[in-house]
Amino acid sequence: MEVYITGVGLTKVGRHFDLSLRELAARAAFEALDSARIDKVDAVVVASTLSYREAGQFDLAGHLAGALGLKGAQTLAMEAGDASGLAAVEAACSLIRAGSAERVLVVGVDKLTDYVSSRVYRDLQRLYEAEVQALYDIGHAGVAGLLARLYMERYGVGRDTLSYWPAMDHSHAKHNPYAMLPFAIDPAAVPRALKVAEPLTLLDSFPLGDGAAALVLESEPHGDARAKVVLATSAAGYPSFTMNEDPLAPESVGEVAARLREVTGIAPANVDVIELGDTFTSIGVILAESLGLSKPGRAAVDAMEGRFTLGGDGPVVNPSGGLKARGHPVGATGVYMVGELALQLSGEYPGLRVDGARRGLAVMASGDGSSAHLVLVEGVA
Amino acid sequence: MSMDLSVPETWRVKGPLYRLEAARCKTCGRIHYPPMPACPYCGSRDLERVTLPSEGVLESYSVVYAVPEGSRHKAPVLLGLVRLGRVRVVAEITDADPSELRTGMEVEAVLRRIRSDREAGIIRYGVMFRPKLKGGSRGG
Ligand SMILES: [Zn+2]
């Protein structure tokens, strides 16, 4: 059975001190329902990661569905760390393909700015193996710092070269009205910024922001469909990145990329546009290389040479600005990615537009690769 | 400064955190750390506890400035990716100045305090690594 994306709702990622979790979620949800021109759904799937600790609401899907005037809907809450949003899209597609729902509202929401950042770091540390390794004060960025140094030394990639990855994200984001940081940055400024986890700085890491995004998925296109979901899948990896044969090649990411090729015959490098879950610069280049977009050690160089931007010979990567510049309201991010891709394929995307794009891919691994998630969407025009 | 340290949790993790206990798979022979209920490589549940060597090589390190709540007084935290035989471990580095650290240097395990919760009277210890002194151990 086909799964069509008929509605998209995106809020600007930022510091929404004036909006509660449900008010923020409602903005995205109502926009998605209105753009799909429906007011009832069979199921509501909610993606959120930090809200259970930060906003403190259990049964978030039930509470939110009721608050949105959708009582009676099936409800499901999805938490998959950094990748909750993509996991929610996967769950929603499964409900439709199994015939248990015809219309599903997917809402991703998280607020990261209600508390001081050190508290958010403590919570985000639980993305990593939490029973032993995250008992150390590794913070949210420590593992990404370890991987960055490993990458630089193995491939002889300099700190200045690595800086072209976040600079690429920022140059794309300046066109995106939903981006938290819609401005270009000078790659030379990256190493000089506030240190987060050496060799990484603040300009290598996602900003802490609030955001909500929503989609309406339907089994029928109703003439309003923006795109259709061809594949939504995920794969568990190892409980710690240390268990990968090569820490710079997370097996969970390799597994979802292999599945994409098996199921659709498409390699990641052959799509037109890709949204990558680049929580940190090191994670971005590792993802790009694990997907085969670049040869090992080459992703930052490819970014520097403009391969992943408009007019480059690779897919356009992160036209949204990526996690670095669009932002990463953790549980919501995957929903943003799929919403942005759907608008991109229907020609409605208000940011950096990839003309004639037919296929879009969203890929994200949680934390250090405990699981990887992939969604392939295709235009319906 | 009451935090979220749990007494039972602190007691449970003594094996891996105090003694570097890992698990060896009797089916495929591979060792993993920290120990899981099944072998992450082949899925076998036939595992035995083994102790990792206490000396190894620093494969990577990071100086972490974005330190979580409850440990800000420790900033910056030195974090290491340490290879102990065929297994990699992530742990804090201690007794070292960040400028001394080099990848490839030899390090050795020492037991140190990771965090404490004064109100609840809990101190959590764990293995950390320090640069190994050539020709003998350093004091302290
Ligand atoms: Zn095994």
ipTM rounded to 2 decimals: 0.94
By mean pLDDT, which of A45-49, A131-135, A279-283, A373-377 is the weakest? A131-135
Q: What would the mean pLDDT of A211-240 be, rounded to a whole number?
A: 95
Per-residue pLDDT at A31 exceeds 90: yes
Cα–Cα nearest to A5, from A381, A343, A287: A343
Q: What is the pLDDT of residues A52-105, one digit of tens each?
A: 877 788 999 999 999 999 999 999 999 999 999 999 999 999 999 999 999 999
CA–chain centroid gap for A269, Å, is 18
Q: What percent of chain A has pLDDT over 90?
A: 92
The answer on A286 and A169 residing in a single domain is yes
Q: Please state, in angstroms and rounded to a whole number, the distance separating the CA atoms of residues A200 and B2.
A: 31
A244 C-alpha vs ligand 1 centroid, how far in Å?
A: 14
The answer on A180 and A102 residing in a single domain is no
Largest Cα–Cα distance of chain B, in whole Å? 46
The answer on A296 and A280 residing in a single domain is yes
Domain that holds residue B17: 7-131
Given this model, what pLDDT does residue B3 score?
Answer: 57
Coil, helix or strand for A230? strand
A243 C-alpha vs ligand 1 centroid, how far in Å?
A: 12
Provide the pLDDT confidence category of residue A352 given band limits of 50, 70 and 90. Answer: very high
For residue A99, is it within any domain?
yes
Provide the pLDDT confidence category of residue B135 given band limits of 50, 70 and 90. Answer: low
Contact A359, A377 (CB under 8 A): yes
The answer on A76 and A193 residing in a single domain is no
CATH number at A22 reads 3.40.47.10
Distance (Å) from the alpha carbon of A125 to chain B's nearest alpha carbon:
8
CB pair distance less than 8 Å for A141 and B64 = yes
Per-residue pLDDT at A293 exceeds 80: yes
Distance (Å) from the alpha carbon of A245 to chain B's nearest alpha carbon:
10
The answer on A158 and A42 residing in a single domain is no
Give the H/E segment covering residue B109. strand B106-117
User: What number of other Cβ atoms are within 10 A of residue A52's Cβ?
Assistant: 15
By mean pLDDT, which of A239-248, A310-319, B116-125 is the weakest? B116-125
For residue A224, is it within any domain?
no
Distance (Å) from the alpha carbon of A92 to chain B's nearest alpha carbon:
29
For residue B71, is it within any domain?
yes
The answer on A324 and A202 residing in a single domain is yes
Specify the number of domains making up chain A.
Answer: 2
Given this model, what pLDDT does residue B140 score?
Answer: 40
Specify the number of domains making up chain B.
Answer: 1
Domain end position, chosen among A163, A196, A218: A218
For residue A168, is it within any domain?
yes
Per-residue pLDDT at A251 exceeds 90: yes
CB pair distance less than 8 Å for A148 and B126 = no
A78 C-alpha vs ligand 1 centroid, how far in Å?
A: 30
Mean predicted lDDT score pLDDT of chain A: 96
CB pair distance less than 8 Å for A242 and B65 = no
The answer on A294 and A369 residing in a single domain is yes
Domain that holds residue A151: 137-207+229-378
Q: Residue A85: which residues within 8 A CB-CB, separation 6 or more?
A: A47, A106, A108, A213, A331, A332, A333, A334, A335, A336, A337, A338, A364
For residue A244, is it within any domain?
yes
Cα–Cα nearest to A12, from A327, A346, A335: A327
The answer on A144 and A251 residing in a single domain is yes
Q: Please state, in angstroms and rounded to a whole number, the distance separating the CA atoms of residues A69 and A72.
A: 9
Mean predicted lDDT score pLDDT of chain B: 89
- Please report the DSSP string for A340-380 in residue order: HHHHHHTT--SSS--TT--EEEEEEE-TTTSEEEEEEEEE-
